[in-house]
């Protein structure tokens, strides 16, 4: 898919494609990067309390990574998904 196609996709679809591809290909590096940026994205999306909770609980981060395509959080993480999907055009 070309870059313009990715830019116009909803954040939830970008998330689903990127995470599904990473899980299917065992790309722990991308999943770890996603886990690292979720707290900042939570704060940027207007949920600073979630950010503090996530930093203290790895299980919360894993849960967030699998569901981080919706709403303001999905929009905050949109550049991460687009960058990853550009690197993996077969995703």
Tell me the C-alpha distance between 81 and 91, whole Å.
11
pLDDT for res 61: 67
For the entire predicted model, the pTM comes to: 0.61
pLDDT at 51: 59
pLDDT at position 46: 82
Task: Write out the chain's pLDDT in tens, 91 residues.
Answer: 666 689 999 999 999 999 999 999 999 899 888 888 887 888 888 876 665 555 556 666 677 777 778 888 888 888 999 999 999 988 8
């Amino acid at each position: 898919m070309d870059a313009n196609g990715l830019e116009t996709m909803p954040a939830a679809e970008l998330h689903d494609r990127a995470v599904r591809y990473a899980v299917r290909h065992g790309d722990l590096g991308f999943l770890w990067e996603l886990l690292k940026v979720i707290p900042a994205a939570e704060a940027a999306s207007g949920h600073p309390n979630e950010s503090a909770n996530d930093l203290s609980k790895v299980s919360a981060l894993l849960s967030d990574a699998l569901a981080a395509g919706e709403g303001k959080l999905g929009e905050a993480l949109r550049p991460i998904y687009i960058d990853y999907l550009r690197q993996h055009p077969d995703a």
